[in-house]
Chain A
């Protein structure tokens, strides 16, 4: 199994760290991982994206143009990446700020109201965990218990008091994610 994923949104939304948590979770279950960020001036505000590849085999190119799964968190990224999802693939998005929702019919589409929910839960930093929960509900790429383990490994100890909140956000994402278009 090889899953090629793009996570794209604004800088500051936790796009890169969501990718990192996903990568760490996959390591917990003995998979190969590659996490390839867009780096450079765009990190200072503007769009940020990261390619995450999970596989049972040696991973080839970290640079890819077509994805099994796209997680899209702003309009710019929707414009840039909707057409890059492979037919039969998955597009997961947060409708917050999206002016043109996805229109493709040859892929699975799901939405998760993560920004709204994070605000309602008074956990703005839980945003990316809500999105991740939504992803794992639709496509259980890694086991939830490994996400919690991965989170613990990737977070410095001084943040370990936030683990419970993160887990809560992850679970909430699983509850609120909705399928918009199925195949």
Chain B
């Protein structure tokens, strides 16, 4: 079969992936720089293609609670927004995590804090990976760095979300959302029929049969002893995810003396910086965490045994660098270079930062 290849924006690729993944419902609210997700879905009319529901809610808060409701019935549901909109969704995300439901939340980050700016940023790393809402919960967080990954990670995110009954996030940024690249599309998957959902997901509220146990979905429990047991169960699940689901890409680390750690757009910029530094004879490698949570602690810890220093590059004031430092635990210098406010570092800036902070120092 001939491959189906298209030139698409990251946001469009994400929307098309949702249709082809057999998603049952998308609930959104427009915000730059991710509005093309909803626009694409509205233009494609997937309700005619697969029966998928696409709904523009009255607000972000409404959208995330529609996701909560849809997920409770065992349906494959998702929402997307950009930073200020994702802040509004945090209460709902905490409820979904607490109620142990699978769902996908997409954040195409722009600069903050506040209403911020519409240009790309990565300043929601803490919010995504440390729990932006209340309570002890974690979000599986995938960071695409190409349009193809925007497409592919919709599948990966739902796989993980359903495997662990926990919400997953795709944490992209305005550059990935707005740029166009070549995308290889996958064949259309069927949406699950209702009786299949009943069979696969006994926890889902699909209507009680006579004499059957009542399924009950909530994030509330007024009995602290029982609720502590629930919290322990959540933590055990998160531990399993940390042990089994780390995804990381490592380039040129075999002979590397210095490492750049970066994700998303910063990783693309750092990829070029690595090439430029190698042209000058410096042995530099790149570690690109694809899952930001679970974080590739083990991989970075092992590299700390053999390299001289690590530079973390981010479009924020230094967030992931804290996780890199935890993994390195003081054994080698970990430096940081970042831009904020919607500015993207250039490859040359990263080259200079590496020379000034590590190689020359």
Measured CB to CB, the residues of A under 8 A from B are: 20, 23-24, 27, 32-37, 39-40, 59-65, 154
Asked if residues A62 and B179 are in contact (CB atoms below 8 Å), the reply is yes
Q: How far is the CA of A36 from the CA of B7 in the complex (A)?
A: 12
Asked if residues B271 and A60 are in contact (CB atoms below 8 Å), the reply is yes
Chain B: interface size category: 20 to 34
Measured CB to CB, the residues of B under 8 A from A are: 5, 7, 33, 118-119, 174-175, 178-182, 265, 268-273, 275, 344-348
Asked if residues A60 and B272 are in contact (CB atoms below 8 Å), the reply is yes
Candidates B178, B182, B346; contact of A63 at CB < 8 Å: B346
Q: How far is the CA of A92 from the CA of B168 in the complex (A)?
A: 47
Asked if residues B269 and A63 are in contact (CB atoms below 8 Å), the reply is yes
Asked if residues A34 and B181 are in contact (CB atoms below 8 Å), the reply is yes
Hey, which chain A residues are within 8 Å of B7, CB to CB? 20, 23-24, 27, 33, 35, 154
For the complex of A and B, 5 pairs with smallest distance between CB atoms: A61-B272, A60-B271, A60-B272, A35-B180, A36-B179
Asked if residues A27 and B272 are in contact (CB atoms below 8 Å), the reply is no
Q: How far is the CA of A62 from the CA of B182 in the complex (A)?
A: 13
Q: How far is the CA of A60 from the CA of B351 in the complex (A)?
A: 14
Asked if residues B180 and A39 are in contact (CB atoms below 8 Å), the reply is no
Q: How far is the CA of A24 from the CA of B181 in the complex (A)?
A: 9
Candidates B178, B182, B347; contact of A39 at CB < 8 Å: B178
Q: How far is the CA of A62 from the CA of B347 in the complex (A)?
A: 10
Asked if residues B346 and A62 are in contact (CB atoms below 8 Å), the reply is no
Candidates B119, B181, B268; contact of A60 at CB < 8 Å: B268
Q: How far is the CA of A36 from the CA of B268 in the complex (A)?
A: 13
Hey, which chain B residues are within 8 Å of A35, CB to CB? 7, 179-181
Hey, which chain A residues are within 8 Å of B347, CB to CB? 60-61, 63-65
Asked if residues B181 and A65 are in contact (CB atoms below 8 Å), the reply is no
From known contacts A60-B275, A62-B268, A154-B7, infer whether A40 and B181 are also in contact, taking CB-CB under 8 Å: no
From known contacts A20-B7, A27-B5, A39-B33, infer whether A64 and B272 are also in contact, taking CB-CB under 8 Å: yes
From known contacts A23-B7, A33-B7, A40-B119, infer whether A65 and B348 are also in contact, taking CB-CB under 8 Å: yes
Q: How far is the CA of A33 from the CA of B5 in the complex (A)?
A: 12
In this complex, what residue of B is CB-closest to A154?
A: B7
Asked if residues B265 and A62 are in contact (CB atoms below 8 Å), the reply is yes
Asked if residues A62 and B175 are in contact (CB atoms below 8 Å), the reply is yes
In this complex, what residue of B is CB-closest to A39?
A: B178
Asked if residues B181 and A33 are in contact (CB atoms below 8 Å), the reply is yes
| A/B interface sample: 16 pairs, CB < 8 A | A23-B180, A24-B7, A32-B181, A33-B180, A34-B180, A35-B7, A35-B181, A36-B179, A39-B178, A40-B119, A60-B347, A61-B272, A63-B344, A64-B347, A65-B347, A65-B348
Q: How far is the CA of A92 from the CA of B346 in the complex (A)?
A: 24
Asked if residues B268 and A61 are in contact (CB atoms below 8 Å), the reply is yes
Asked if residues A40 and B118 are in contact (CB atoms below 8 Å), the reply is yes
